[in-house]
Chains A and B, each alone.
Chain A
Amino acid sequence: MKTADTEHRTPGGTDRRRPVLEIKGLNKAFGSNKVLNDFNLTMYHGEIVVVMGRSGSGKSVMVKCLVGLMKPDSGEISILGRDMINISSGELDELRADIGFLFQGSALYDSMTVRQNLEFPLRHRKERKELTENMEEVVTTALDQVGLAHTLDLMPEELSGGMKRRVALARALILKPELMIYDEPTSGLDPITSKEIIQLMKHIQQTHNTSSMVITHDVDCARVIADRIVLLINGRNYAQGSYEDLAASEDEEIKAFFKT
């Protein structure tokens, strides 16, 4: 097990590679409640990092800061080499095309069909002509990847929870992002559907050659998917390492996660 901010080697023996995400000294407080407290993390290309923590430990706040939905009080965030804190709104929109985000509740647009949901991120994306010019094909292919090509003209209300999550995944992937962020991808799903989603995430990681950050408190999900697990406790990067390292730890705080 490695503690926070130590030198990192990804499992499989690969040395440091191109960093896709660097977080340095991130702080965020709501009144007197300090949610993120000097949080640091570096993620490398092709890596799957699982961030685990209890409810209210600051996981969701951290990802919201990553995608620009929330401004941190202080700290630095660099995604794909670009500073996320001091970025213009136009540049932020451009950068967001390289970040796929799967929301906890899927967040499909209620008033749109599945097809329109998938087409939505492609609108006004002039810099991605290869995608916008073949929208029909791109949408069908994305849905095909998640095994839901037959749902094109259905409304979100006609889909099950697992199907919604898969459509949301297809939507997140439609711009072919370099970095995928999954916020509680298996929450609210039955164990079988959860396994399907996890397999799908692994498959996507291999076929799309993306880097992934997975926010979860599902230990099974972390065990199956993680190259590296980061434990977020009291807003800090408490510990990080492979599943086996952390599961074998004698630290009480870490044991609380893995020995249940």
Chain B
Amino acid sequence: MIYSIQKRFEDFFLFTAELSLFAMRYFREAFRRPFEINELLRQCYNVGNRSLPLVALTGFIIGLVLTLQTRPTLQEFGAVSWMPSMVSISIVREIGPVIVALICAGRVASGLGAEIGSMRVTEQIDAMEVSGTNPFKYLVVTRITATTLMLPMLVILGDTLGLYGSYIVENTKGDVSFMLFFNQVFDALEYQDIVPATLKTFLFGFAIGLVGTFAGYTCKKGTAGVGRAANSAVVIASLLIFIIDFMAVVITDLFYEL
């Protein structure tokens, strides 16, 4: 029992150390020539464009549901007019970034884990290395950079469609005009809502790319390892998103208290 707990602790610290070294290698390689611009653009397309419908639909539905669920309670207190402010702050500060990041952890991190993992077990990564191409730069740096750059854009899109979904409910149930709704939305939002929320999405993107590529790049034990890589990529990326979110909120609060 004690041995098992000790082993788990050891494995956890070993994993954390390896992931940290992997992240450091990313920063070392990312700014060295040659730059894989074409592959980076291709990955931006893969991460951004292909996640777009899923993120858009989810964002829109969250806006609808949040408004539908909250409306009766606000109505009870005669505070329906606070709806745009409440929805905008909820979505922009917290729900939008976290939900979009979780969707991307499911779609992108698992995809990266499986793709790079299968390249590892079928010796494609070795083939790249033997041909004189740095596979870390080509496969890892491009993908982490792409997720870091694309996630904020996806979050902005998700937030926008979430607010639009909320407006549709408000317009249908309360006859609120588009101008009035969005005026209230923008009145309620301040820089301290938007800037930290956007900055943390870069970290979410980085975490998703880092964990996905790490799981794939270090994949072992044949095809079963590929499945494990995809699975662990989703679980660890999701967990990291919550940890980063918590830390971002604490730091933001400290920053604005000063």
* Chain A interface residues (CB < 8 Å from chain B): 64, 67-69, 93-94, 96-97, 99, 101, 103-105, 107-111, 120-121, 123-125, 171, 175
- Docked-complex contact B131 and A121, CB < 8 angstroms: yes
- Docked-complex contact A103 and B132, CB < 8 angstroms: no
Q: Is B70 an interface residue (CB 8 A)?
A: no
- Docked-complex contact A121 and B123, CB < 8 angstroms: no
**Residues of A close to B133: CB separation below 8 A:** 120-121, 123-124
**Residues of A close to B124: CB separation below 8 A:** 107-110
Alpha-carbon separation in the docked complex, A63 to B25 (Å): 27
- How close is A66's CB to chain B, nearest CB, in angstroms? 10
Contact with B132, one of A69, A107, A108, A125 (Cβ below 8 angstroms): A125
- Docked-complex contact B126 and A124, CB < 8 angstroms: no
Known contacts A69-B129, A105-B123, A107-B122, then 17 further A-B pairs from the complex at CB < 8 Å, ordered by chain A residue: A68-B129, A69-B126, A69-B130, A97-B132, A99-B130, A103-B127, A107-B123, A107-B126, A109-B124, A109-B127, A110-B118, A110-B122, A121-B131, A121-B132, A124-B133, A125-B132, A175-B131
| Nearest B residue to A92, CB-CB | B132
- How close is A244's CB to chain B, nearest CB, in angstroms? 33
Alpha-carbon separation in the docked complex, A175 to B130 (Å): 12
- Docked-complex contact B34 and A107, CB < 8 angstroms: no
**Residues of B close to A94: CB separation below 8 A:** 132
- How close is B234's CB to chain A, nearest CB, in angstroms? 21
- Docked-complex contact B132 and A96, CB < 8 angstroms: yes
Q: Is B119 an interface residue (CB 8 A)?
A: yes
Instruction: Write the B111-150 contact mask toward A (1 if CB under 8 angstroms, else 0).
Output: 0000100110011101111111110000000000000000
- Docked-complex contact B132 and A101, CB < 8 angstroms: no
**Residues of A close to B119: CB separation below 8 A:** 109-110
- Docked-complex contact A93 and B132, CB < 8 angstroms: yes
* Residue from B115, B122, B130, B133 with most neighbouring chain A CB atoms (10 Å): B130
In which size bucket is the chain B interface? 10 to 19
Alpha-carbon separation in the docked complex, A123 to B132 (Å): 9
**Residues of A close to B134: CB separation below 8 A:** 93
Instruction: Write the B67-98 contact mask toward A (1 if CB under 8 angstroms, else 0).
Output: 00000000000000000000000000000000
**Residues of A close to B115: CB separation below 8 A:** 111
* Chain B interface residues (CB < 8 Å from chain A): 34, 115, 118-119, 122-124, 126-134
* Binding site secondary structure of chain A: loop
- How close is A215's CB to chain B, nearest CB, in angstroms? 14
Alpha-carbon separation in the docked complex, A107 to B120 (Å): 10
| Nearest B residue to A94, CB-CB | B132
Alpha-carbon separation in the docked complex, A159 to B133 (Å): 24
**Residues of B close to A104: CB separation below 8 A:** 123
| Nearest B residue to A100, CB-CB | B130
| Nearest B residue to A124, CB-CB | B34
- How close is A166's CB to chain B, nearest CB, in angstroms? 15
**Residues of B close to A110: CB separation below 8 A:** 118-119, 122, 124
Alpha-carbon separation in the docked complex, A97 to B123 (Å): 18
**Residues of B close to A109: CB separation below 8 A:** 119, 124, 127-128
- How close is A110's CB to chain B, nearest CB, in angstroms? 7
- How close is B122's CB to chain A, nearest CB, in angstroms? 6
**Residues of B close to A99: CB separation below 8 A:** 130
Please give me the 3 A-B residue pairs with the lowest Cβ-Cβ distance, nearest first: A121-B131, A107-B127, A107-B123
Known: A110-B119, A124-B34. A96 touches B126 (CB 8 A): no
- Docked-complex contact A96 and B123, CB < 8 angstroms: no
Contact with B126, one of A97, A103, A121 (Cβ below 8 angstroms): A103
**Residues of B close to A108: CB separation below 8 A:** 124, 127
- Docked-complex contact B130 and A96, CB < 8 angstroms: yes
| Nearest B residue to A168, CB-CB | B127
Alpha-carbon separation in the docked complex, A97 to B131 (Å): 7
Known: A104-B123, A105-B123. A96 touches B131 (CB 8 A): yes
Alpha-carbon separation in the docked complex, A132 to B127 (Å): 19
**Residues of B close to A120: CB separation below 8 A:** 128, 131, 133
Alpha-carbon separation in the docked complex, A141 to B127 (Å): 21
- Docked-complex contact A124 and B132, CB < 8 angstroms: yes
**Residues of B close to A124: CB separation below 8 A:** 34, 132-133
Alpha-carbon separation in the docked complex, A96 to B131 (Å): 6
Contact with A67, one of B34, B128, B130 (Cβ below 8 angstroms): B130
**Residues of B close to A103: CB separation below 8 A:** 123, 126-127
26 A-B pairs (CB sep. < 8 Å): A67-B130, A69-B129, A69-B130, A93-B132, A93-B134, A96-B130, A96-B131, A97-B132, A99-B130, A101-B127, A101-B130, A103-B123, A104-B123, A107-B122, A107-B124, A108-B124, A109-B119, A109-B124, A109-B127, A109-B128, A110-B118, A110-B124, A120-B128, A120-B131, A121-B132, A124-B132
